[in-house]
Amino acid sequence: MMAQEKAPWALPESRRTEMIRIITDRGSVSVPALVDLFQVSADTIRRDLDRLADSGMITRTHCGAVRLREAGVLSVAVRMTTRAEAKQRIAAAAVALIRPGETIVVNGGSTTLAFAAALPAERSVALVTNSIPILGQLDLSGFSNVFAIGGEFLDVSKVTVGPVDFPHSDRIAIDAAVIGVRAMNAERGISTATVAEAKMISEMIRLARRTIVVTDAEKFSRSAFAAIAPLSDIDTLVTDADPPDDL
C-alpha cells in the first residue's frame, strides 16, 4: 500500500513561514482566505496566527492578521523574509570591502544582519552595534571584540537607540560604518523611520572614517520619516541594481 504524500503545508513551520510571506506581500489577510489556501481548519489557522503574533512577526486582528508596523517599520523577522536572496548577495559584496583587523560599527536591520553573519572569522574584525539580533543570534566568537551600544530598546526594530557614547572615546577609531536604511533618494539622502534612530545612525557615520550603505533597490526613490544624512556622506553604496539617474 502506497503511503499518502503529505500536503506541502502540513508542517506548521512551513505553513507559518508562508503565512509571513503572504501577509508581508498583501499587508493583511483573513482567516477564511488562509483556510482556503492551506486546506486546514480555522482553529489551526487561528493558532498559527496567534503563534506568529506572540513571536512579534505580525499583528493579530479579529478576522485575521496584518503586517506588523511601528511608525511604518516592518518587523526584522518579516523583513528577513523579503528579498532574502538579494540581501545575501549585497552582504557578500559588502564583506569584501572590510579589511582584516578593522573596527566597524553596524546598525540594526535585515541587510546588516545578513552582512554581519557573512563576515569570516579570519578577518578578526572588531564589532560595534546596536542590533539585538546581531548580538543575540550570531556566533560572535569570530569577532576580535564586540561592543554593544546601549539605550532605549525598540521592539519592532530590535535595536537600542541612544547616544553613541564609548568609554575613552578619544582612543576609539572606527574604520567603517556599515549602514542599512529604510529609504534613499536624491533630495533627502538616506532616511529611516524614527528620529531617535536617525540621530544615532548619523552619529555612527560621523565617527567612522568611511561609510558603506547596504540596501536593496526597492529603497531607491523612497523617503522615510527621519533623514539620516545626505548622499555626500556615503563613500560606497552596495546594492543589487543600478540606481535611477537622479540618485
Contact between residue 66 and residue 24 where contact means Cβ atoms under 8 Å apart: no
Residue 159, beta-bridge partner list: 131, 154
User: Which pLDDT value is given to residue 20?
Assistant: 82
User: Which pLDDT value is given to residue 143?
Assistant: 95
Please state, in angstroms and rounded to a whole number, the distance separating the CA atoms of residues 217 and 209.
25
User: Which pLDDT value is given to residue 66?
Assistant: 82
Closest CA to 28 of 55, 49, 10: 49
Please state, in angstroms and rounded to a whole number, the distance separating the CA atoms of residues 207 and 138.
25
* Phi and psi torsions of 86, nearest 5°: -60, -40
User: Which pLDDT value is given to residue 153?
Assistant: 87
Q: Are strands 152-154 and 159-161 parallel, antiparallel or unpaired?
A: antiparallel
Instruction: For the chain, give the number of residues.
Output: 247
Residue ranges with strand state E in 12-77: 28-30, 58-60, 64-67, 69-70, 73-74
User: Which pLDDT value is given to residue 3?
Assistant: 44
Contact between residue 141 and residue 111 where contact means Cβ atoms under 8 Å apart: no
Q: What is the pLDDT along the chain (247 residues), one digit of tens a residue?
A: 444 444 566 778 778 888 888 887 777 889 999 999 999 999 999 999 988 876 666 778 878 888 765 434 555 555 555 567 889 999 999 999 999 999 999 999 989 999 999 999 888 999 999 999 999 889 899 999 999 998 988 876 788 998 887 655 566 789 999 999 988 999 999 998 788 899 999 999 999 999 999 999 988 977 777 899 999 999 999 999 999 999 8
All three cell numbers of 35, joined, read 483556510
Q: Which amino acid is at 65?
A: A
Please state, in angstroms and rounded to a whole number, the distance separating the CA atoms of residues 179 and 183.
12
Helices (H), the chain: 12-26, 31-38, 42-54, 76-80, 84-95, 110-118, 132-137, 195-207
Cβ neighbourhood burial of 238 (10 Å; 0-12, 13-18, 19+): buried
- Compute how many other C-beta atoms are within 10 angstroms of the C-beta atom of residue 135: 18
User: Which pLDDT value is given to residue 222?
Assistant: 79
Contact between residue 94 and residue 69 where contact means Cβ atoms under 8 Å apart: no
CA distances from 184 to 47, 85, 113 (A): 38, 20, 19
